[in-house]
Amino acid sequence: MAKVTTRLNVAPVPPDEIFALNHAFGIDTHPQKVSLGVGVYRTDDGKPWPLPVVQKAEKELEAASDAFRHEYTAIEGDAPFLPMARDLMFGFEGKPSEEEAKARIATVQTVAGTGANHLGALFLAHHMKPRTVWLSNPSWANHMTIWELAGIPRKTYPYYHASTRAFDFDGMMSSLENDAEEGDVVLLHACAHNPTGLDPNKEQWIAIAELCERKKLFPFFDSAYQGFASGSVEEDAWAVRYFFTAKPDMEMCVAQSFSKNFGLYGDRVGAFHYVTNRASSSLRDVVVNNLCHLIRGEFSMGPRAGTAIVKKVLSDEALVKEWHADLKVMSSRIRSMREALYAELVRLQTPGTWEHIVQQNGMFSYTGLTLKQVYALKDQYHIYLLKSGRASISGLSKKNVAYVAQAIDDVVRNVN
Tell whether 122 and 262 lie within a shared domain. yes
Tell whether 105 and 241 lie within a shared domain. yes
Is 16 noted as a catalytic residue in this protein? Answer: no
The whole-angstrom separation of Cα 286 and Cα 200 is: 34
Write down the catalytic residue from 49, 78, 134, 140: 140
Helix, strand or coil for residue 13? coil
The reported pLDDT for the residue numbered 69 is 87
For residue 232, give Cα distances in angstroms to 247, 267, 278, 332: 23, 23, 28, 11
Decide if 353 is inside a domain.
yes
Q: Model confidence over 283-322: pLDDT tens digits?
A: 999 999 999 999 999 999 999 999 999 999 999 999 999 9
Write down the catalytic residue from 168, 184, 222, 326: 222
The reported pLDDT for the residue numbered 13 is 86
Angle between helices 317-347 and 52-64 (to 10 degrees): 150
The reported pLDDT for the residue numbered 98 is 84
Is 260 noted as a catalytic residue in this protein? Answer: yes
Tell whether 288 and 367 lie within a shared domain. no
The whole-angstrom separation of Cα 117 and Cα 222 is: 7
Write down the catalytic residue from 247, 260, 311, 378: 260
Decide if 55 is inside a domain.
no
- Domain boundary among the residues 315, 348, 367 is at 315
Is 140 noted as a catalytic residue in this protein? Answer: yes
Q: Model confidence over 150-179: pLDDT tens digits?
A: 999 999 999 999 888 999 999 999 999 999
Split into its structural domains, the chain has a count of 2
- Domain boundary among the residues 315, 350, 371 is at 315
- Bridge partners of 271, per DSSP, are 109, 256
Decide if 1 is inside a domain.
no
- CATH of residue 349's domain is 3.90.1150.10
Residue 38, domain extent: 17-50+320-411
Angle between helices 305-314 and 81-90 (to 10 degrees): 60
The reported pLDDT for the residue numbered 95 is 62
The whole-angstrom separation of Cα 86 and Cα 329 is: 24
Tell whether 214 and 351 lie within a shared domain. no
Ranges under pLDDT 50 in the chain: none
The whole-angstrom separation of Cα 91 and Cα 223 is: 14
